[in-house]
């Protein structure tokens, strides 16, 4: 009899636990990730972001693929059918729908190149704070950081960068330019000022001021001859000779999106830079500059070029 | 001699077949050659177009620095590289408004450029003339940003860069045309050589195929010439075998028919020979019999005439004696004897005449006579008969010349026969004798108003021993030889006699003798001889 009572007790505890978790899940709701049905490297990147979302989110996570022809109304209806309590859009296509979705659901946009307007979202652009933190950690001698940018594309980044630079004791010398021709003129001027490892040139992702066939070769040649540090926000530049650059930490981006969605559900609209980044270093350039890495620093490096 | 027609070109089966197949081969080869040339041209044009686009793109990629610095010096090297391509006739780097930063050309005069549209997003063919292609590649900021690395994929945006200018390349089509022309020439030569070879091969093949047909034709020709019925060997293509088979069947059938015809001909020849022999025997028998009959008649007539003339002579002598003694009833009886003896003599004379005619011994004795006198003599002889039957006789002589050459006795007998017939078959009527004597024709027409002749009777009266009334109770005397003799005499003289009559309305006999009378050759059998 006691044994029977013991089983009844165990079963009751189990049922209570199930009910508790079910109600918690129901309370957490459902997060639907709206993303383009694409192939290639983007598919892997989006999969990693969704993995990060799933790891961070307490709600159930589902994916909803869209195409270029998807109508906002149809997507909204599908989300309503799925009883979505929060929406995370990925990529430029997702951002195009996000403003419409935001009227019906708490929505944040992720994996963006530009700053989202009137929308909560996380850009792929690395947070300047992380950028300068890595710079000072890799090249402690750094004092001045030069950057040529276009206000249209990177005005918000530079204003944030100014604050971050001050935080890390760096002087950010930002030169605005409207066109590549203007950027070239600015670079010709500032190249005169550059001297040694105390100076660094930062290449942001900016179509108006950065060009892989003109600007990049010019700066790489000058950096090599004048021994200043050239780092970039574009991942592939490290393969071409920049000292270091950043890879988005896609898992971290997923987590950041979940957190932002939580804040957005509380009524806060905010556009954030990517806080979680991975650094890639060109060892050949580092060797040329005389930069060495200790074990701790090497642990924080995601990729090394050229690969051994 | 039958004229051989001049052979027409391609008239023969071989010629037509060879012409058709050769035309097809040449056409096919030319089409293939043309298609190959066109295909080559299309491929080469597509390749050159692709090359032009690549060159323009490459120049565009190398033009960025020159356009950024607006420096022709920076453009020199890329343009020199581009101009080293043999097909590139002109290359330049131009600003968006079309003004050149630097242009290089291989021609004496620069080729006019087309200002590309500023919305041009990728290297394109902006213009094409008969001689050239014009390519332009836009040079934009950001175009050279490389987002092909997988790690850069999330940063690839859609914004267009700023248009700095264009890389402009002109590709000359001349080398392509030269190459095409060379290829067309070579293709044409090769095609013609191949076509010639194929035509020769086809000719050989056709000759081999048509050999059985030639053999068939040769055998047909030999068969046509009738040397012998020769079958042909059944070889070659199915159609020729079928023709040969049909021909062989036809030849076999023909030979069979010929054999049957030959057999029939031989049979007929034998039959004809037999019949001829029988006919000859029959003819000889008939001739012999006729000759014997004539001889018999002639002999009999002669033998009868001699005692008859003796009877007549002695009867006349007794009659004259009785008349001198005063006549009497005996005299009248004797006159009856004499009249019947005369009739009998006339009959015998007529039979003798017919016998001569049948025996082919009738002869004409032509002599110059006075026709008028002969006719008057005949009329005088007929007056007693006319008086006896109470007929009125009219005589009309229409003579151009009284003298003609003719057989006097036979003419006299013919006139007497016709007039005496008219007088005999006419009672209380009229008899008209009309004689027309012309230089080329003598016509004697005797017309009476007597009993006339039916058409059946008209067909009988000229036959021997046939009379109009052959019943035992006939009213008219006669031997039935007068008209037959008259017709035979007329025919002997080359003339003819005809009758027109209607029963009960009299008759008209017309005797026509063409003059002069022809002298018949002596050897003509069955005809009279001229004496």
Q: What is the CATH number of the domain that holds B263?
A: 1.10.287.130
Residues whose CB falls within 8 Å of the CB of residue B208, separated by 6 or more in sequence, listed in order: none
Closest Cβ opposite residue A124 in set B155, B158, B164 = B155
* Cβ atoms B439, B402 nearer than 8 A: no
Residues A75 and A170 in one domain: no
Pairing type for strands B430-437 and B441-448 reads antiparallel
Name the band, by pLDDT with cuts 50, 70 and 90, for residue A31.
very high
Q: What is the pLDDT of residue A166?
A: 93
Q: Give the minimum alpha-carbon distance from A19 to chain B in angstroms, rounded to a whole number.
A: 42
Q: Which of left, alpha, beta for A59 (phi over 0: left; psi -120 to 50: alpha)?
A: beta
Q: What is the ipTM of this complex?
A: 0.71
Residues of A in contact with B69 (CB under 8 A): 184
Residues A150 and A239 in one domain: yes
What are the b/e assignments for B264-284, b being 16+ CB within 10 Å?
Answer: eeeeeeeeeeeeeeeeeeeee
Q: What is the pLDDT of residue B307?
A: 82
Domain holding A228, by residue range, is: 126-247+278-305
| Alpha-carbon span A42 to A38, nearest angstrom | 7
Domain holding B423, by residue range, is: 362-530
Q: Does A274 touch chain B (CB under 8 A)?
A: no
Contact (CB<8Å) A214/B151: no
Owner of token pair 């050759």: B521
Q: Does B161 touch chain A (CB under 8 A)?
A: yes
Contact (CB<8Å) B68/A184: yes
Question: Which residue, among A191, A228, A187, has the nearest Cα to A210 in the 3D structure?
Answer: A187
How far is residue B148 from each of residues A41, A42, A212, A240, B141, measured CA to CA in Å? 10, 12, 12, 13, 17
Count of domains observed in chain B:
2
Count of domains observed in chain A:
2
Residues B317 and B424 in one domain: no
Helices (H), B228-328: 238-324
What digits encode the pLDDT tens for the residues A105-139?
A: 999 999 888 777 788 899 888 899 988 998 998 88
Taking 3-state DSSP, the helix, strand and coil percentages for chain B, each rounded to the nearest 5, stand at: 55, 15, 30
531 residues of chain B, pLDDT tens digit each:
445 556 666 777 778 888 888 888 888 878 888 888 888 888 888 888 898 899 999 898 888 888 888 888 888 989 999 999 888 889 999 998 888 899 999 877 777 777 888 777 788 998 898 888 999 999 887 655 556 667 777 777 655 667 888 999 999 888 888 888 888 888 888 888 888 888 888 888 888 888 888 888 888 888 888 767 788 888 888 888 888 888 889 888 888 888 899 999 999 999 999 999 999 999 888 888 877 777 777 777 777 878 888 888 888 888 888 888 877 788 888 888 888 888 788 888 888 888 778 777 778 888 999 999 999 998 998 888 899 899 999 999 999 989 999 999 899 989 999 999 999 899 999 999 999 999 899 999 999 999 999 888 888 888 877 776 666 556 666 667 889 899 989 998 999 999 999 988 999 999 999 998 876 554 444 444 444
Question: In the listed set B333, B361, B389, which residue is the last one of a domain according to the structure?
Answer: B361
* pLDDT over threshold 50, residue A24: no
Question: In the listed set B361, B394, B414, which residue is the last one of a domain according to the structure?
Answer: B361
Q: What is the pLDDT of residue A16?
A: 46
Contact (CB<8Å) A214/B146: no
Q: What is the CATH number of the domain that holds B395?
A: 3.30.565.10
| Alpha-carbon span B453 to B434, nearest angstrom | 20
Closest Cβ opposite residue B144 in set A42, A213, A235 = A213
Q: What is the pLDDT of residue B527?
A: 43
Residue A16 in tokens: 């209570």
Contact (CB<8Å) B68/A180: yes
Residues B312 and B372 in one domain: no
Closest Cβ opposite residue A207 in set B68, B69, B142 = B142
Q: Does B69 touch chain A (CB under 8 A)?
A: yes
Residue A70 in tokens: 């998807």
Is B482 among the domain residues?
yes
Q: How many CB pairs under 8 A join A and B?
A: 74
Sign of CA dihedral B400, B404, B406, B409: positive
Residues of A in contact with B154 (CB under 8 A): 42, 45, 91, 111, 113, 124, 248
Peptide bond into A282 cis (omega under 30): no
């Amino acid at each position: 009899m006691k044994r029977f009572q013991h089983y009844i007790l165990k079963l009751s505890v189990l049922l209570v636990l199930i009910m508790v978790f079910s109600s918690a899940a129901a309370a957490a709701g459902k997060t639907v990730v709206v993303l383009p049905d694409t192939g290639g490297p983007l598919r892997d990147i989006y999969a990693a972001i969704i993995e990060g979302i799933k790891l961070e989110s307490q709600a159930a996570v589902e994916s909803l693929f869209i195409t270029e022809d998807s109508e906002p109304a149809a997507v909204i209806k599908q989300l309503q059918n799925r009883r979505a309590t929060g929406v995370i859009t990925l990529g430029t296509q997702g951002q195009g729908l996000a403003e419409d979705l935001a009227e019906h659901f708490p929505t944040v946009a992720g994996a963006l190149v530009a700053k989202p307007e009137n929308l909560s979202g996380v850009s792929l652009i690395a947070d300047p704070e992380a950028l300068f933190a890595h710079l000072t950690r890799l090249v402690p001698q750094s004092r001045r950081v030069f950057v040529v940018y276009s206000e249209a594309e990177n005005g918000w980044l530079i204003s944030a960068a100014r604050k971050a630079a001050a935080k890390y004791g760096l002087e950010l010398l930002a030169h605005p330019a409207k066109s590549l021709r203007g950027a070239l003129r600015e670079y010709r001027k500032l190249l005169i000022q550059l001297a040694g490892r105390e100076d660094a040139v930062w290449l942001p992702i900016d179509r108006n001021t950065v060009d892989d066939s003109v600007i990049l070769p010019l700066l790489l040649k000058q950096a090599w001859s004048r021994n200043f540090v050239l780092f970039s926000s574009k991942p592939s530049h490290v393969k071409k000779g920049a000292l270091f650059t950043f890879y988005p930490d896609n898992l971290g981006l997923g987590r950041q999106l979940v957190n932002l969605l939580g804040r957005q559900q509380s009524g806060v609209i905010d556009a954030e830079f990517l806080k979680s980044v991975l650094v890639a270093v060109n060892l050949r350039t580092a060797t040329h500059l005389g930069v060495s890495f200790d074990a701790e620093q090497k642990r924080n490096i995601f990729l090394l070029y050229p690969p051994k | 001699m039958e004229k051989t027609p001049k052979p027409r070109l391609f008239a023969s089966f071989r010629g037509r077949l060879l012409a058709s197949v050769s035309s097809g081969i040449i056409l096919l080869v030319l089409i293939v050659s043309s298609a190959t040339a066109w295909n080559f041209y299309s491929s080469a044009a597509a390749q050159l177009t692709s090359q032009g686009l690549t060159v323009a793109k490459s120049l565009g990629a190398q033009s960025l620095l020159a356009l950024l610095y607006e420096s022709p010096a920076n453009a020199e090297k890329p343009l020199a590289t581009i101009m080293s391509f043999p097909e590139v006739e002109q290359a330049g780097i131009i600003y968006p408004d079309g003004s050149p930063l630097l242009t290089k050309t291989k021609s004496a005069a620069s080729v006019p450029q087309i200002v590309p549209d500023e919305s041009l997003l990728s290297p394109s063919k902006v213009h094409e003339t008969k001689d050239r292609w014009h390519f332009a590649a836009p040079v934009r900021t950001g175009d050279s940003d490389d987002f092909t690395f997988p790690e850069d994929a999330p940063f690839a945006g859609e914004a267009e860069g700023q248009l700095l200018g264009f890389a402009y390349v002109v590709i000359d089509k001349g080398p392509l045309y030269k190459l095409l022309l060379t290829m067309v020439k070579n293709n044409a030569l090769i095609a013609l050589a191949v076509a010639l070879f194929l035509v020769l091969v086809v000719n050989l093949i056709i000759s081999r195929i048509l050999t059985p047909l030639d053999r068939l034709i040769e055998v047909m020709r030999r068969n046509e010439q009738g040397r012998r019925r020769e079958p042909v060997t059944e070889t070659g293509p199915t159609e020729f075998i079928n023709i040969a088979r049909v021909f062989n069947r036809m030849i076999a059938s023909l030979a069979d028919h010929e054999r049957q015809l030959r057999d029939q001909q031989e049979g007929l020849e034998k039959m004809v020979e037999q019949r001829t022999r029988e006919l000859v025997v029959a003819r000889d028998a008939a001739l012999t019999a006729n000759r014997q009959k004539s001889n018999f008649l002639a002999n009999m007539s002669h033998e009868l005439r001699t005692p008859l003339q003796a009877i007549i002579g002695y009867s006349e002598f007794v009659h004259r004696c009785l008349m001198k003694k005063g006549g009497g009833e005996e005299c009248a009886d004797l006159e009856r004897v004499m009249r019947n003896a005369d009739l009998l003599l006339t009959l015998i004379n007529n039979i003798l005449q017919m016998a001569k005619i049948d025996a082919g011994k009738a002869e004409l004795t032509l002599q110059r006579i006075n026709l008028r006198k002969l006719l008057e003599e005949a009329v005088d002889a007929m007056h007693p008969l006319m008086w006896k039957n109470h007929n009125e006789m009219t005589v009309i002589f229409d003579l151009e010349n009284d003298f003609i050459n003719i057989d006097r006795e036979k003419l006299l007998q013919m006139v007497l026969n016709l007039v005496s017939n008219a007088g005999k078959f006419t009672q209380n009527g009229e008899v008209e004798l009309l004689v027309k004597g012309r230089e080329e024709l003598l016509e004697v027409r005797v017309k009476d108003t007597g009993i006339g002749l039916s058409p059946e009777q008209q067909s009988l009266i000229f036959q021997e021993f046939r009379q109009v009334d052959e019943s035992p109770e006939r009213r008219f005397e006669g031997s039935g030889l007068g008209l037959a003799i008259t017709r035979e005499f007329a025919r002997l003289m080359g003339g003819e006699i005809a009758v027109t009559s209607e029963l009960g309305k009299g008759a008209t006999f017309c005797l026509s003798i063409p003059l002069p009378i022809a002298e018949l050759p002596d050897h003509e059998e069955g005809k009279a001889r001229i004496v």
